[in-house]
Amino acid sequence: MAKPSRVRRSINNQYSRGGANPIDIHVGAGRVRRFGSPAANIIKRAALTSALLIGLAGPAWADFEKGFNAFTRGEYAMAARALRPPAEQGHARAQFVLGYLYQVGQGVPQDFAEAEKWYRKAAEQGNAKAQYNLGVLNHYGWGVPQDHAEAAKWYRKAAQQGNAHAQNSLGVLRWKGHGIAQDYAKAYKWFSLAAVSFAAGAHRDRAVKSRNAMAEKLTPAKLTEAERLTRQWKQQK
């Protein structure tokens, strides 16, 4: 098995080429962002609200908070131990972060099949980040047989919730015709939405470049239609 650090570099490289990010949440990508206050507090308040709404406050919330705090400190083995009980109780955020730890081999042996299992549990509860990451595993065949149609399914679910990386990745599949019908107008739409959703930086620049590449492939009438589809999607949100 490849060393976790090598795996993380490979993941970073793979996602960078697609303009994607393996853990598009509040805890970075193959490179882990460790947020302090006030960002971490905002995340915790949001997670606590979610826990209260679905009846997971109390011990499950306490374990999630303990695990999240350990994760932000880089104590991944402790994070995995603390996150497992709430994940097993159905805490979607705990499931998501535990899946990430398995994906990159931090605190636990690197295991894409386990990552897929936990991402799927969270994704089926509507967690957009888990939906996106589940799409990525299917896209590249990590822990599951490569399946572009399944990747498109989960990218779409996350994209419809406004996940910029999923929007961009769905644009790529539409562009290439992988797993779904090739459609430059719809690819243009998803790249346009991703360009708006991304913060300024390399991801946005790539989305803009991809959108412009799609525009060059469209007739004036098709480009007008693509712009209409983009406006329509925005209005629905």
Q: What is the DSSP code string of 69-129?
A: HHHHTT-HHHHHHHHHHHHHTT-HHHHHHHHHHHHHTSSS---HHHHHHHHHHHHTTT-HH
Domain end marker among 145, 168, 185: 145
Residue range 157-162: average pLDDT?
Answer: 96
Residue that terminates a domain, selected from 101, 126, 145? 145
Select the more confidently predicted residue: 194 or 235: 194
Domain check: are 167 and 226 in the same one? yes
- Structural domains counted in the chain: 2
Are both 151 and 117 inside the same structural domain?
no
122 plus 12 within the same structural domain: yes
In a shared domain, residues 136 and 170: no
Do 114 and 160 have their domain in common?
Answer: no
Residue 237's domain comprises 147-237
Q: How confident is the model at residue 236, as a pLDDT? A: 81
- 106 and 8 within one domain: yes
Where does a domain end: 88, 113, 145? 145
User: Quick one: 1 and 78 in the same domain?
Assistant: yes
Rounded distance, CA 226 to CA 228, Å?
Answer: 5
The arithmetic mean of pLDDT across residues 199-211, rounded, is 96
User: Is the pLDDT at 128 greater than 60, yes or no?
Assistant: yes
Q: In sequence order, what are the residues at sequence separation of 6 or more whose Cβ sits closer than 8 angstroms to the Cβ of residue 8?
A: 30, 31, 104, 105
pTM over 0.85: no
- Residue 68 shares a structural domain with residue 174: no
Please, are residues 152 and 182 in contact by the beta-carbon 8 Å criterion? no
Residues 110 and 76 in one domain: yes
